[in-house]
Amino acid sequence: MLNPLSLAYMGDSILDTYVRKHIILKIKGKPNRLHQLSKQYVSAKGQAFALNILIEESFFNEEELDIIKRGRNAKSYTKAKNTDIQTYRKSSAIEAVLGYLFLIDETERLEALINKMIEITEERVSANG
């Protein structure tokens, strides 16, 4: 089993790629505008919010919940840039699941999770104006 922080590192990249694809196909704007929009989807705060909703909805299976726990509890030696440590750890946890699903070639499950995260983010953004 890979280190949860290594899984999170992979998951961060995968999420960023899927979000960029989603935004480019949906918005068709200039790169700066696309970047500003993508931050709503890939921020630690947004990821932690999505994780909380998905846990409440019992979205994850036992194996994924184990990865979440390991990712949340992993000791990172980098500091959270614009958030508190608890939010940062939750975002690392969901990124670890994304990385795990990618590395075991569970593409269908990976895409279901990312699509759900995108849906949660869009609902949150539209509710906040």
Q: pLDDT tens digit string along 61-118?
A: 999 999 999 988 877 666 667 788 889 899 999 999 999 999 999 999 999 999 999 9
Examine the residue annotation and report whether 105 is marked as an active-site residue of this protein. Answer: no
Query: Do 8 and 95 form a contact (C-beta atoms < 8 A)?
Result: yes
CA distance 65 to 97: 8
pLDDT at 129: 63
* Res 31: pLDDT: 78
Give pLDDT tens digits for 17-39: 999 999 888 877 787 778 788 88
Q: CA–CA separation, 82 vs 17, rounded Å?
A: 21
CB burial of residue 16 (10 Å; 0-12, 13-18, 19+): middle
Between residues 57 and 71, which one has the greater pLDDT? 57
Q: DSSP string covering 25-90, please?
A: HHH---HHHHHHHHHHHHSHHHHHHHHHHHHHTT-S-HHHHHHHHHHHH---SSPPSSS-HHHHHH
**Per-residue confidence at 53, pLDDT binned at 50, 70, 90?**
very high
Distance from C-alpha of 27 to C-alpha of 33, rounded to nearest angstrom: 9
9 near 19, Cβ under 8 Å?
no
Residue 65 C-alpha from the chain's centroid? 14
Q: What is the pLDDT, as a whole number, of residue 80? A: 65
pLDDT of residue 14: 97
Under 8 Å between Cβ of 60 and 112 = no
User: Of 12, 16, 66, 84, which one is the catalytic site residue?
Assistant: 12
